Amino acid sequence: MTDWDATGLPPAAQTRISRAASSALRSSLLSVEGDAALGIVGLTPVGEVMGCIVSQLGWGGWGGCGYSYTRSGSGYIPSGAPPVTSSDSSWAGFAPYVKALYKGYETALHRMLAEAQALGADGVVGVTVTREQLGVAQMWEYVARGTAVVARGKQRPTHLFSTDLSGGDVAKLMHAGWVPVSMMWGISVAVRHDDYATRVAARSWSQQNVEVPGYSELVTYARADARWQFENRVAKYGADSAIVTDMSMRIWEIEPSDGHRDHVAESVIVGNGLAQFHRSKTATTDSLLVMPLRKGSS
């Protein structure tokens, strides 16, 4: 073991990649179909690549109440105060937590791309990114894995592309004139003060059918902010469109003071930025009606 200063690639990865770059051996995580499809659009796999970061989440979120934090008022809290999202200011609500998540995902992705670059690749397809808690409390491991590919021809991209789409999907997109740019995340955490109206509406003994406007507002804020973050990132990369792969939402309770509970919503959007390279109609798909003859087609 050497003391690695967390810049560039860890020594073990550097060694493996240098050896892979000088060897004729090619590894790939692709399926046979994926590999064949990519071959048609001129992408050849050059090797399996990985990027990883283990980081400590030192600060799980701000423990205060969803109202009084950003607004100086204390004591009397009027009903209907809107939720605070992690984008409202750099210390608002859960901003440091969200920053840590972004950093985890994006560092894993960039380390993976660094390996791919060392292999002389143009991009990485079929990326899977996972986040897992290690045995130790608040230690998280982020891992990105994928297959580095090189494009036929002399033209090289400025930055390597990355996508969690499968080989087949990438081939279809490229055939239709779209190229993946990068995997993107949009993350937001919103917190809302549970006011009197919210508590009344959510009362479990109530026989009434009512919407709980406070909670609806909370999830709407979290999602809207996550979507905004996502779109901003897509635009930042210069991509002109995006396909969302997954959108998840988690809600939990916090107890900022005795007997008082607030609710927190976390929204995570994962997707791919795309760029169109054929503006003409000719490069779009030209579907053929086919009927596959396979077992079980009834």
Q: Which of residues 258-297 bind another protein (CB under 8 A)?
A: 263, 271, 275-278, 282-295
| Structure token digits, residue 174 | 């490229």
| Identity of the residue, 76 or 205, whose beta carbon is nearer to another protein in the bound complex | 205
CA distance 250 to 193: 17
User: In this structure, what token pair is assigned to residue 10?
Assistant: 């860890």
CA distances from residue 145 to 23, 47, 69, 107, 219 in whole angstroms, order as listed: 20, 11, 39, 12, 31
Nearest residue (CB) to another protein, 89 versus 284 = 284
Place of tokens 């009397």: 76
Among 53, 192, 230, 270, binds another protein (CB under 8 A): 230
Distance, CA of 124 to CA of 45 (rounded, Å): 9
Nearer to another protein, 22 or 279 (CB): 279
Rank residues 19 and 159 by Cβ distance to another protein and give the closer one: 159
Least distance in angstroms from the C-beta of 228 to another protein:
11
CB 80 within 8 A of CB 197: yes
Among 21, 50, 52, 201, binds another protein (CB under 8 A): 201
* 280's tokens: 């003409």
Site for another protein in 135-194 (CB under 8 A): 151-159, 161, 165, 169, 172-177, 179, 181
Structure tokens at 232: 């901003």
Name residues contacting another protein, limited to 62-121 (CB under 8 A). none
197 is a site residue for another protein (CB under 8 A): no
User: For another protein, which stretch binds (CB under 8 A), given 2-10, 105-113, 135-143, 204-212?
Assistant: 204-212
State the residue for tokens 């283990």. Answer: 54
